[in-house]
Amino acid sequence: DQQVKQNSPSLSVQEGRISILNCDYTNSMFDYFLWYKKYPAEGPTFLISISSIKDKNEDGRFTVFLNKSAKHLSLHIVPSQPGDSAVYFCAASANGGATNKLIFGTGTLLAVQP
Amino acid sequence: GEEVAQTPKHLVRGEGQKAKLYCAPIKGHSYVFWYQQVLKNEFKFLISFQNENVFDETGMPKERFSAKCLPNSPCSLEIQATKLEDSAVYFCASSQGAGAYGYTFGSGTRLTVV
């Protein structure tokens, strides 16, 4: 039972345009959501997070939107840069995101074309 | 140090042999997590520790897998009598705990069982 789903295995975007990565979840107990970025042969790197009490969190070029009623979150990257090319994982946690296990989606491979 | 150090980077074991993986968390981080990435993009939570105490072991297989975090030593994940299906990348991560945003992953140990 996949509690966190990323339905797009891959996404290709032109440099300078917006990248939108989507994530859906099924467990209403999740209260903290995170995005990780992963390059080949490296561990995932924390990118941005959002608590369920918010609907938006912004950090530079990265913005995460949370729609609790739809159990949907998205990561917006604008403007996209070639260095953003990586696999992006959505993750969710119940009772906080730093002490409890994370449930990961299956990832979306983002390719930013120069 | 400021990184989670995992050793070895690669490990090859014959079926039935023992495998032992090590993880040195970031100094000052009290939580340690182990994840298994079997398929290319699928992370499975195994176990977490709060200091040397098991915090959550709901993902640990009942047989053959064990883990420890002892004071003044790297944490370890041990697999007795490895099977082909244990072939995966094993990631360790650490966190300061409550109030932190996400956690920091190591670069993983690739275990190949032949």
Please give the interface size between A and B, counted as residue pairs whose CB atoms are below 8 Å apart. Answer: 64
Confidence of residue A100 (pLDDT cuts 50, 70, 90): confident
B101, A46: Cβ pair inside 8 Å?
yes
Mean pLDDT of the region A93-105: 81
- Spans of chain B below 70 pLDDT: 1, 98-101
Return the structure tokens found at A39.
């390059």
Match 């003044």 to its residue by tokens. B72
Specify the pLDDT at position A97.
60
Q: Which of residues 10-29 of B touch A (CB under 8 A)?
A: none
Q: Mind telling me how many Å the CA of B107 is from chain A's nearest CA?
A: 4
B84 to chain A, any CB pair closer than 8 A? The answer is no
Segment B21-48, tens digit of pLDDT: 999 999 989 999 999 998 777 899 999 9
| From B41, B95, B102, residue closest to A106, measured CB to CB | B41
Return the structure tokens found at A38.
């992963």
| From B91, B99, B100, residue closest to A43, measured CB to CB | B91
- Cα angle A76-A35-A59, degrees, rounded to a multiple of 5: 55
Under 8 Å between Cβ of A10 and A88: no
Per-residue exposure over A68-92, b if at least 16 CB sit within 10 Å of its own CB, e if not: eeebebbbbbeebeeebbbbbbbbb
Residues of chain A in Cβ contact (below 8 Å) with chain B: 34, 36, 41-46, 49, 87, 89, 96-104, 106-107
- State the average pLDDT for chain A: 94
Confidence of residue A95 (pLDDT cuts 50, 70, 90): confident
| From A49, A87, A99, residue closest to B41, measured CB to CB | A87
CB atoms within 10 A of CB B63: 8
Segment A31-76, tens digit of pLDDT: 999 999 999 989 999 999 999 999 999 999 999 999 999 999 999 9
